[in-house]
Structure 1
């Protein structure tokens, strides 16, 4: 191979950048399932009641690598999916509003042949987990949300709290055409690593882990699809479709809910996330991780997993 051909190496593909092994050599099954008019990549391990894990930005299924193993060892069928437009899932030209993305999730539950699932969502995945639990409560037996308030609480904070608006400057930046996509893939996805470092607490991620996320973001069209949900969330606030969605989300949630948050989260302020329980008419438990940032499931996987397993295993959860 010549130097010029090395410099012009092709961009990564989902097959090479996404279908990864779990740490420690644990076997994981990668496959595609059809749901809601699209194809979704899932990583699966274990047998038992379904726990479906939903990643946030700027990540993909691999962010749940520690929890997948622990859930399987605890007797669950642990499945982490790539959201529409990310990882190994289809990159469709439209369909990035939260109602449709939530139908992706509930459709995957059905395609996996299960009557329901415990949903575990982080960041954008948490926003969509809230949404799915409101829209299709019979398909969600338990809910775990990390680093994301209830959508109505998120909207209020973005509109009325200057501190939260400033903390979410990246979302405002996503509203520009083309520029965010170019920034996310520049220098082999360097911005992805920078964002994850900046949003983490003192326990910074390893460079090797950041390289995984950088490669995944550089799969063609991923950057564009990754920012489209945030464009809808901001641009729809005063539009009829947005107003209709937030009215729908006013419906009380009747799914037992565990809400986890890092005290040092610089992206979603604690005061923005706290109080989401007002929308839950079921057992609701709030846990704040001291000294952790926006990625508690990666910064302290053992502590996060312990809370998760205790909640899922509690037959009669309380507050």
Structure 2
């Protein structure tokens, strides 16, 4: 692994179709865009930025539209996937580059995969963390989610009505985030006998199923303060609007139904993460759906927040993969 002197990270605002996007940049070399998921921000990549920079890359962790210091359009439809794809292309061009590698976690993984699928001339490789690649198409998302959970409501369905989840979260953003992070972390997630925190009981709230007790080991008080401070300032509507566009995305991407992602790719997930256990069939289909796959890794004893729970392992996987990419 090549180690270079690393300058301090730099905060930047760049123009995009959303208005502006905030990013934190560190290092020089080939551009690597880092895309966070829900409910996070650029800060989710704090462990990766200096390591990628030291390995000879220009790493840029973006606040996705609706988050942090990035613009938050009012219209729900402004958060459809194709808008986010164009945001990513705009970042590449605003940074004076013609192409970039994408690394995404959670929703960021799906945004990264779709960006590479729709704009292959800009995005030359893609790494997906926690959420496997599933090609566009299949049943309409709202129909699938309505059938999950029996009498309980799946969290994605719970997030659909504007204002509903916000009313639960925003009175105590810090406490809600701490519980949500704990519910999906390997060392604090509820056991198999406990109610599944991905579902809401009739008349209940999502947080009713969050675990009590200490926060996960990876989440320090300062880390929680940073993440909570962003959402206390912005609210959650922009972040939740991503979930409210899944049927729009299904319509927008109908012409790419079943399309494989052909660029060089990497997948890494937590063995205890529901995102990987529920989508085992998607991982098993990678021979067809990810023909450029260079490695697929399930980290034993790891939950959903993979690059924060296991930063050293994830950093090693990313740096080794980036070094092996064709130039």
TM-score range, shorter chain: 0.7 to 0.9
Normalized against structure 1, the TM-score is what? 0.82
Residue aligning to 1:123: 106
Please state how far the C-alpha of 1:283 moved relative to its aligned partner. Answer: 3.5
Give the 3 Å change call, closer, same or farther, for CA 268–286 of structure 1 in structure 2.
closer
1:283 matched to 2:293? The reply is yes
Moved more, 285-294 or 247-256: 247-256
Moved more, 123-132 or 191-200: 191-200
Please state how far the C-alpha of 1:286 moved relative to its aligned partner. Answer: 1.2
Alignment of 1:94-109 (within 5 A): 94=75, 95-109=78-92
Cα deviation digits, residues 252-306 of structure 1 (max 9, x gap): 3221010111000134535155135222232342111111000110001000000
Cα deviation digits, residues 66-110 of structure 1 (max 9, x gap): 100000000100100100010110011231001111111111111
Residue aligning to 1:48: 29
Aligned partners of 2:134 and 2:289 also within 8 Å: no
**Structure 2 CA distance, aligned partners of 1:118 and 1:265?**
25
**Structure 1 CA distance, aligned partners of 2:289 and 2:129?**
16
For residue 302 of structure 2, give the secondary structure of its aligned residue in structure 1.
coil
Q: 1:85 aligns with which of 66, 88, 108?
A: 66
Q: 2:236 aligns with which of 223, 230, 240?
A: 223
Which one has the bigger helix percentage?
1
Please state how far the C-alpha of 1:176 moved relative to its aligned partner. Answer: 2.4
* Residue-pair matches, total: 287
For residue 262 of structure 2, give the secondary structure of its aligned residue in structure 1.
coil
Q: Structure 2 unaligned runs (5+)?
A: 1-5, 188-215
Compute the RMSD of aligned alpha carbons: 2.8
Aligned partners of 2:294 and 2:321 also within 8 Å: no
**Structure 2 CA distance, aligned partners of 1:249 and 1:214?**
37
**Structure 2 CA distance, aligned partners of 1:110 and 1:267?**
32
1:142 matched to 2:125? The reply is yes
Residue aligning to 2:154: 169
Cα deviation digits, residues 115-162 of structure 1 (max 9, x gap): 111100000111100100001111112110011122437966968988
**Structure 1 CA distance, aligned partners of 2:276 and 2:142?**
14
1:256 matched to 2:267? The reply is no
Residue aligning to 2:196: none
Give the 3 Å change call, closer, same or farther, for CA 242–122 of structure 1 in structure 2.
same
Residue aligning to 2:220: 206
Residue aligning to 1:312: 322
Give the 3 Å change call, closer, same or farther, for CA 52–138 of structure 1 in structure 2.
same
Q: 2:250 aligns with which of 242, 245, 264?
A: 242
**Structure 2 CA distance, aligned partners of 1:98 and 1:33?**
19
Residue aligning to 2:14: 33
Residue aligning to 2:193: none
Cα deviation digits, residues 203-247 of structure 1 (max 9, x gap): 532233222212211123x400101010111x44xxxx6234143
**Structure 2 CA distance, aligned partners of 1:141 and 1:83?**
20
Aligned partners of 1:28 and 1:44 also within 8 Å: yes
Aligned partners of 1:193 and 1:213 also within 8 Å: no
